[in-house]
Structure 1
Amino acid sequence: MDVFLFSFICCKLMFFLSESSFASDTITSSQSLSDGRTLVSKEGSFELGFFSPGSSKNRYVGIWYENMPVKTVVWVANRINPINDSSGLLVVNETGNLVLTSQNKSVVWSANLSKEVQTPVVLQLLDSGNLVLRGERDGGSETYLWQSFDYPSDTLLPGMKLGWDFKTGLERRITSWKSSDDPSPGDFI
């Protein structure tokens, strides 16, 4: 094999491996998270990415414990609207909203921010398992534009709250999965 060709192949392989193993806990509005890529919290406790539960072929965005032998999902974004292929893309759009799109760029799920955000926004997976949307300059603050802890799935993590928030009118409750293959809301609340 030609030395140049061998070097070229090795260089491309190293680039591919470094790209696929890159771990970050944040994405900005200029970035996105595609199926096959993940965010990992700073201390490596939690991971966010696309997954298929059980024997299902549907794709969901979720958070799970990073270093567990069996993937234990603790939060699911698009519980009601799965994606049926690997075309999903999680992005912070131009208005600062967190949006999950499918193949034809249709919105499958969004964080539903009530107002347009004027400052640069960052999506960050915290070591608590909380996925937060915050202003880029609010790194040390707990002032969030949106947080997954306000929309629990079927798992109560330390730091989460349950019940009514009388200031915002938000009701926080955990709801069972329909089955081990289907994370849509089940019968138990």
Structure 2
Amino acid sequence: MNKRFKYASMLVIVVIIGFCAMYINGDIGINKSNIEKDARISQKVPDDWQVAKDTTDTMSAMIFYSESLSNHIFSLYVNRTGFSFGYFFRGGGSLVGVMEGIQEIYIKGYNERAFISMNKQQVSKIEIDNGNSIETIKIENKKPFVIILPVNIGSVTIYDINNNVVESQPQQL
């Protein structure tokens, strides 16, 4: 009985030391369900601001905005490949490209891109043509939006409420 207790205690200590080492090494990130909360705290987003967001297995993107749509803060998180757990903050703030247009943000080393916009162009849909079929994603034309799409998904065309093509502005982080 005494040996079992000794081995169990040693195992618990090793696990705690391993966990601490991973935490100090930056291998433990934010749980998927806590990303918005972390972004609001770390970027000092006012509590009354609304959010538009999208999260995949590898990326999370959010845009926080005031009721008047006059201010915004965006946040990007990534789920690192390899031996790490959770999502890690990669970038954020406010950009003219997000406020006035559609910012298409690529993150080096990841095969997804985030389309982030305050939607001043009144985008109403995004069409994805993969060569075999066309998929349409409806967008509420008076609200900011965030959409994450794979880089190799095919041709992405963005339309406003008058069915005019709206161009995005690519940017790499």
Specify if TM > 0.5. no
TM-score, with normalisation over the residues of structure 1? 0.26
Q: Which has the higher strand share?
A: 2
Q: TM-score if structure 2 supplies the norm length?
A: 0.28
Which structure has the greater CA radius of gyration?
2
